[in-house]
Amino acid sequence: GACGSEKKEIPKQIYIGVACYDQRDTFLGELLENFKRECRTLEKRGYDISLTIMDAANSQRTQDDQVQEMIGNGCDILCVNLADRTDPSQIITAAQEHDIPIIFFNREPVEEDLMQWEKLYYVGCDAEQSGIMQGEIAAEYINSHSEVDKNKDGKIQYVLLEGEAGHQDAISRTEYSVKTLMKNDVILEKLSYQLADWNRGQAENRMNRLISQYGKEIELVMSNNDEMALGAVEAYRKAGYAREDWPVIFGIDGLEEALEAVKAGEMQGSILNDRVDQAKEMAKMAVELFEGEDFEQESLKEGRYYFSEYQKVDGSNIDEYLNAEETISHSGM
Ligand code: BGC
Ligand code: CA
């Protein structure tokens, strides 16, 4: 050009292929909405992003095929939310053959798999942290509200709603929330653990059964996520119990509806799973990988893992979080 600049203003085209385990999952749906929004902001920075999102409806076979299809269509970067987190081998092999980096997200492959090739990354959270935080806010509440122990036997009769068997978050949240409660001097009596697949309707069914079995004896419900906690809330609403007969209920994710339930006193707390921050990081990584930039590997754990920070939400800070979707990312880029 006349001024010596050879740069043309043609947007760089990036094709990002996203594979999801199940788009009906509420948390995941919100994460994807945020990711789409991040991709639109990249367009303002001169990239032309073409995004394909495919839903595996919970089948790893289906997802393997979908990834093949996106590779066949020439995608540059893959973002993969595994259906079966222990079985990424087909996807990794296919991506490696075509030299396409993969950003796994939300459903964490085992370390051995992630280390198979240098262009594999993970964006998510440190699952243990959410369990510890949930145990802490629950213990704090219980230790300062003697009425939680409705039958005054010095023990807290509790029910635990578990997400999916084998999911890193379900495993760690169950283990660490309970350990943390005990560590903080809460004496627990386990009534029942129920798997409800992260799902509100399933949790409501499970809780209905437990309510008919235990009546008002349930004093605490610990749930691996908010959707299931909201299922418990729904079960108590329909059972028509007076509020003083409800147990205290704790979730994880910080979904808007759960925050409203906390505000209304139907739930006592949640742990924010920062989908805004995760979406930002995924978009940022996608561009950096596309540009072939040397990664700021020091900022990633073991050069591969990005974990966003969980945040505690309870009665003490609920107003900061309620209706503040776009500001929830306190750890920004
Ligand atoms: C979320 C759950 C979600 C699951 C899906 C977890 O991190 O807390 O709400 O269902 O991811 O993989
Ligand atoms: Ca009790």
Mean of pLDDT over the chain: 93
Q: Is 106 touching ligand 1 by the criterion CB < 6 Å?
A: yes
CA neighbor of 224 nearest in space, from 197, 190, 264: 197
Q: Is 28 touching ligand 1 by the criterion CB < 6 Å?
A: yes
Relative to the alpha carbon of 105, which ligand is closest?
1
- pLDDT value of position 193: 98
- pLDDT value of position 90: 98
Q: Is 255 touching ligand 1 by the criterion CB < 6 Å?
A: no
Contact status, residue 103 vs residue 285, Cβ threshold 8 Å: yes
- Determine the residue type at 180: T
Band the pLDDT of 11: cuts 50, 70, 90.
confident
Contact status, residue 209 vs residue 239, Cβ threshold 8 Å: no
Task: Tell me the best of 225, 311, 313 to mutate to test the pocket of ligand 1, counting ligand atoms within 8 Å of each CB and taking the most.
Answer: 225
Q: Which residues neighbour ligand 2 (ion) by CB within 5 Å?
A: 149, 151, 153, 155
Task: State which ligand 1 atom lies nearest to the alpha carbon of 167.
Answer: 12
Distance from C-alpha of 291 to C-alpha of 304, rounded to nearest angstrom: 17
Distance from C-alpha of 97 to C-alpha of 1, rounded to nearest angstrom: 39
Residue nearest to atom 3 of ligand 1 (CA): 27
The per-residue pLDDT for range 152-208, each reduced to its tens digit, is 999 999 999 999 999 999 999 999 999 999 999 999 999 999 999 999 999 999 999
Relative to the alpha carbon of 142, which ligand is closest?
2
User: If DSSP codes are grouped into helix, strand and coil, which group holds residue 129?
Assistant: helix
- pLDDT value of position 10: 78
Q: Is 104 touching ligand 1 by the criterion CB < 6 Å?
A: no
Half-sphere exposure of 123 (CA within 13 A, CB side): 22
How confident is the model over 128-136, as a mean pLDDT? 98
Q: How far is the CA of 220 from the centre of ligand 2 (A)?
A: 9
pTM over 0.85: yes
Which of 3-7, 188-192, 288-292 is predicted least confidently?
Answer: 3-7
Q: Is residue 231 pLDDT above 70, yes or no?
A: yes
- pLDDT value of position 323: 78
Distance from C-alpha of 93 to C-alpha of 90, rounded to nearest angstrom: 5
Q: Is 130 touching ligand 1 by the criterion CB < 6 Å?
A: no
Band the pLDDT of 7: cuts 50, 70, 90.
low
Task: State which ligand 1 atom lies nearest to the alpha carbon of 163.
Answer: 10
Contact status, residue 88 vs residue 59, Cβ threshold 8 Å: no
Q: Is 198 touching ligand 1 by the criterion CB < 6 Å?
A: yes
How confident is the model over 61-77, as a mean pLDDT? 98
- pLDDT > 90 in the chain, percent: 88
Residue nearest to atom 11 of ligand 1 (CA): 106
- pLDDT value of position 299: 78
Start-to-end C-alpha separation, the chain:
35
Distance from C-alpha of 218 to C-alpha of 228, rounded to nearest angstrom: 16
Q: How far is the CA of 10 from the centre of ligand 2 (A)?
A: 67
**Sign of the torsion angle spanned by Cα atoms 20, 21, 23, 26:** negative
Distance from C-alpha of 270 to C-alpha of 62, rounded to nearest angstrom: 33
Residues in the chain, how many? 333
Q: Is 225 touching ligand 1 by the criterion CB < 6 Å?
A: yes
